[in-house]
């Protein structure tokens, strides 16, 4: 039987800028650390590794059971599908206050392309999960989505979530080539229209 206080006083893990591919065995080990019952772990930095959508989705149930307050997954080869899973699992989470998902590719796939990896229903789900996460997570203070090829629907979903979430203090979406329509949706959410 493992000691439930195995993590001791560890508050932060920074695995950034390594060449970790995150196979299933690595993800299981990381998930075990996140699930520790008496863990003091508050921050996890996985930026600049090859996490990908599949491993992110495998890790998220453990994240929801953790006491993490800060999550950094910048440049982790995440797509819009990973973004949807991230927000779906964190909806209703009451500990995460800082999320940074910079430098990932959350662009909208061409749904007219038969080989597109997202269905129309999945695109609607992405919008729903983003909006629901922001609406329900009143602990979130910072959301960083810089240089992530955001598209207008995602920005409108963020705007809808911000219409309810009044605790967010930092929203960073720089370097995304946002359109006027997107900015209008964000501002409407901010002012509560």
125-153 pLDDT per residue, tens: 788 888 888 888 889 999 999 999 887 77
Strands of the sheet with 98-100, listed across from one edge: 12-14, 43-45, 70-72, 98-100, 142-144, 170-172
The reported pLDDT for the residue numbered 140 is 92
Q: What is the pLDDT of residues 159-173, one digit of tens each?
A: 888 888 888 999 999
Higher pLDDT, 8 or 127: 127
The reported pLDDT for the residue numbered 94 is 84
Higher pLDDT, 129 or 101: 101
- Percentage of the chain beyond pLDDT 90 is 30
71: phi then psi, degrees, rounded to nearest 5: -125, 120
- The pair of structure tokens assigned to 6 is 């195995």
Higher pLDDT, 5 or 121: 121
Q: What is the pLDDT of residues 69-85, one digit of tens each?
A: 999 999 999 988 899 88
Best CA proximity match to 63, nearest among 164, 18, 49, 39 = 39
Q: Mean pLDDT for the chain?
A: 83
Strand partners, 13: 44
Q: What is the pTM assigned to this prediction?
A: 0.85
Local structure of 74: helix, strand or coil:
coil
Q: Give the separation between CA 28 and CA 14, rounded to whole angstroms.
A: 17
Q: Give the separation between CA 172 and CA 95, rounded to whole angstroms.
A: 20
Local structure of 186: helix, strand or coil:
helix
| Confidence band, pLDDT 50/70/90 cuts, at residue 1 | very low
Return the number of other C-beta atoms located less than 10 Å from residue 141's C-beta. 16
Q: Give the separation between CA 186 and CA 152, rounded to whole angstroms.
A: 10
In the 8-state DSSP scheme, what is residue 31? H
Higher pLDDT, 154 or 87: 87
Q: Does domain 12-191 have CATH number 3.80.10.10?
A: yes
In the 8-state DSSP scheme, what is residue 63? H
């Amino acid at each position: 039987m493992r000691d439930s206080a195995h993590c001791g006083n560890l508050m932060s893990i920074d695995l950034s800028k390594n060449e970790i591919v995150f196979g299933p065995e690595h993800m299981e080990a990381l998930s075990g650390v996140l699930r520790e019952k008496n863990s003091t772990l508050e921050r996890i930095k996985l930026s600049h590794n090859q996490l990908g959508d599949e491993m992110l989705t495998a890790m998220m149930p453990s994240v929801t059971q953790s006491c993490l307050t800060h999550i950094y997954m910048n440049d982790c080869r995440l797509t819009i599908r990973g973004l949807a899973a991230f927000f779906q699992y964190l909806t209703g989470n009451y500990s995460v206050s800082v999320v940074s998902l910079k430098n990932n590719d959350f662009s909208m796939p061409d749904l007219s392309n038969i080989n597109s990896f997202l269905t129309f229903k999945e695109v609607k789900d992405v919008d729903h999960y983003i909006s629901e996460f922001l609406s329900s997570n009143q602990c979130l203070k910072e959301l960083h989505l810089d240089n992530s090829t955001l598209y207008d629907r995602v920005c409108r979903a963020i705007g809808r979530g911000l219409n309810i979430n009044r605790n967010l203090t930092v929203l960073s979406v720089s370097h995304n080539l946002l359109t006027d329509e997107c900015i209008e949706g964000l501002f409407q959410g901010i002012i509560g229209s």
